[in-house]
Structure formats: structure tokens, C-alpha cells
């Protein structure tokens, strides 16, 4: 598996903070609604919806919230009409950035995103300017605590995973085809493993190394984009030393 998933790991570790502020639930509800609108409310035939519901359960979202989001997506309940958009741009040091957007007001959202880029030193680019640098994969994260690495690796590969990484200090990372993410998650759970998160991400085929002020400025830009309610996911090809990331988060 080429590329790195550092930003995905960072986002997972800050999810508790996002949940406290309500932002995580907002993003999950939108994803469930859009998934139900596109593929229907039956989880058996809608892999995206299954994955979205699994993420909601992992975040301890109440079942009523999940049900309402599904019904708004299928039209059983009146709800907001959301549009999916992908924006692309560049950050400090030429780092490539992709943002997946779900919005009910495209004009408002693009104005807000452009303002964030302008204020924090990035550049919003044209469609397709950086997406060719990334590959979509499914990524599952399992906490290292109390886990036998060899047993988890064997179970992951037997469950249909494509790759297994132990680069992170807190989590094992398991990679699979995006369409297979939920099935691999279920099989691992059935084998007795607790899957902390399972989602589709975009990983870069190459990275840009940053340190010092440029690294700090880029992190500030990425966090600002993540904090926008309309931004579902942010991907970048940054390569920043862990100590800089940890210092920024503290």
C-alpha cells in the first residue's frame, strides 16, 4: 500500500473533541442522509449506508438520530436537500488538499472555503488539480491495547483485507477495497476484535515533507477546513514529524 494515512489518524484521535462540540454528529448525520438518498434505506443493499451507520454507532450516536437521518434521505421525513461536491487546492509547501463537501448551499460553502484558504495561506484550485495524486481505499483502525499483532494481521487478511500496517503508536491500520470495508469490519468483530473506526479515505501516492513554521501553518489550515460544518473529510499528502503534530494539538 503506497502513500500515508497520517491525517486520517490525526482526525480519528481528535474525534472525541469533535463529538463534544457536536460537529462529529452533524457530519455523520449528513453522510447517512446522503447515503440513504443515493442507495436507499436498506443496509443490505447499500454498502455506503452500512459503513455510515457503523461510524455513527462507534461515535455513540443515538439510534433515533440514525433513523431520522435515514428517513430524511429516503424522503419518509421532510429534510434538507444536500449536494455533494469535491474541492481541491494547495497548502503550504505545495501540499495537495482534497475536501469532500456535503452542503445545502453551494454558494455559501465555496465562499467559506475560499475565505479559509485565503486567510490561512492556501490556494483553492480547479477540479482535478490534485485528485490524481490520491487513491481511494477502505481503512479500519484497531487499538493496539491488548492486541496480538500477528493474530490481528492473520484475521484481517483472512477477512479480505489487502494490507496491514503497524506504523502508528496507538492503532493498527487495515486497508481494503472501499466496497469491502464494512464486510471486513463485521468479520473482524465476529472474530472478537474491536474496530475503532472504519471508513473510506483517499491516500496520497507520494508525500511532501514539511517542518517548522510551514508545518504549523499547514496544520492550522487543515484543522480550519475540518471544522467547517459542510466539510465531511479532508485529505492531504503532507508528511509532518509526529512531534510537531503533537505539539500543535496540545
| In contact, 127 and 88? CB cutoff 8 Å | yes
On whether both 145 and 171 belong to a single domain, the answer is yes
Say how far apart CA 215 and CA 213 lie, in whole Å: 5
All three cell numbers of 167, joined, read 506504523
Any domain includes 219: yes
Helical pair 181-190 and 149-158, crossing angle rounded to 10 deg: 130
Q: Is 240 found in the same domain as 122?
A: yes
Q: What was the pLDDT predicted at 44? A: 87
* Residue 1 within a domain: no
Q: Is residue 120 domain-resident?
A: yes
Which residue carries 483553492 as its cell?
124
Q: Which range of residues forms the domain containing residue 95?
A: 85-127+208-249
Q: Taking a C-beta distance cutoff of 8 angstroms, is the pair 99, 229 a contact?
A: no
pLDDT of residue 10: 61
Distance, CA of 11 to CA of 59 (rounded, Å): 13
Examine residue 80 and state whether it is found in any structural domain, yes or no.
Answer: no
pLDDT (tens, 9 = 90+) of the chain, 250 residues, equals 334 455 555 655 555 555 555 778 889 999 999 999 999 999 888 988 998 998 888 888 899 999 999 999 999 999 888 999 999 999 999 999 999 999 999 999 999 999 999 999 999 999 999 999 999 999 999 989 999 999 999 999 999 999 998 877 788 999 999 888 889 999 999 999 999 888 888 999 999 999 999 999 999 999 899 889 899 999 999 998 878 877 776 6
- The closest alpha carbon to 152, from 139, 167, 165, belongs to 165
- 216 and 118 within one domain: yes
On whether both 121 and 233 belong to a single domain, the answer is yes
Is 143 found in the same domain as 237?
Answer: no
List the CATH number of the domain containing 167. Answer: 3.30.70.980
Q: DSSP code of 130?
A: S
How far is the C-alpha of 122 from the C-alpha of 99, rounded, in Å?
A: 13
Q: How far is CA 149 from the centre of its chain?
A: 24
Say how many C-beta atoms besides its own lie within 10 A of residue 246's C-beta.
11
Does residue 95 contact residue 208 with C-beta atoms inside 8 Å? yes
Burial of 229 (0-12, 13-18, 19+ CB in 10 A): middle
Residues 178 and 217 in one domain: no
Residues 26, 143: one domain?
A: no
CA dist 63 → 17, 75, 228, 240, 243 (Å):
21, 18, 25, 38, 38
Total domains, the chain: 3
Domain check: are 93 and 70 in the same one?
no
Q: Rounded to 5 degrees, what are φ and ψ at 162?
A: -95, -25
Amino acid at each position: 500500500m503506497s502513500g500515508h494515512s497520517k491525517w486520517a489518524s490525526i482526525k480519528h484521535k481528535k474525534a472525541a473533541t469533535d463529538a463534544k462540540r457536536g460537529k462529529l454528529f452533524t457530519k455523520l448525520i449528513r453522510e447517512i442522509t446522503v447515503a440513504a438518498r443515493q442507495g436507499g434505506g436498506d443496509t443490505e443493499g447499500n454498502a455506503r449506508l452500512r459503513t455510515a451507520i457503523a461510524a455513527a454507532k462507534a461515535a455513540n450516536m443515538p439510534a433515533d438520530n440514525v433513523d431520522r437521518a435515514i428517513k430524511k434521505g429516503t424522503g419518509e421525513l421532510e429534510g434538507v436537500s444536500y449536494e455533494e461536491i469535491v474541492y481541491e487546492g494547495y497548502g503550504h509547501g505545495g501540499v495537495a488538499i482534497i475536501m469532500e463537501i456535503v452542503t445545502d448551499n453551494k454558494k455559501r460553502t465555496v465562499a467559506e472555503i475560499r475565505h479559509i484558504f485565503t486567510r490561512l495561506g492556501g490556494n483553492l484550485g480547479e477540479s482535478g488539480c490534485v485528485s490524481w495524486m490520491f487513491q481511494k481505499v477502505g481503512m479500519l483502525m484497531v487499538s493496539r491495547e491488548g492486541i496480538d499483532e500477528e493474530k490481528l494481521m492473520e484475521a484481517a487478511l483472512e477477512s479480505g483485507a489487502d494490507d496491514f500496517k503497524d506504523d502508528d503508536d496507538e492503532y493498527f491500520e487495515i486497508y481494503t477495497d472501499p466496497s469491502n470495508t464494512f464486510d471486513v469490519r463485521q468479520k473482524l468483530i465476529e472474530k472478537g476484535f474491536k474496530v475503532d473506526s472504519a471508513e473510506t479515505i483517499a491516500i496520497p501516492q507520494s508525500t511532501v515533507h514539511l517542518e517548522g513554521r510551514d508545518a504549523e501553518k499547514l496544520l492550522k489550515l487543515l484543522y480550519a477546513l475540518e471544522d467547517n460544518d459542510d466539510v465531511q473529510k479532508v485529505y492531504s499528502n503532507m508528511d509532518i514529524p509526529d512531534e510537531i503534530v503533537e505539539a500543535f494539538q496540545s
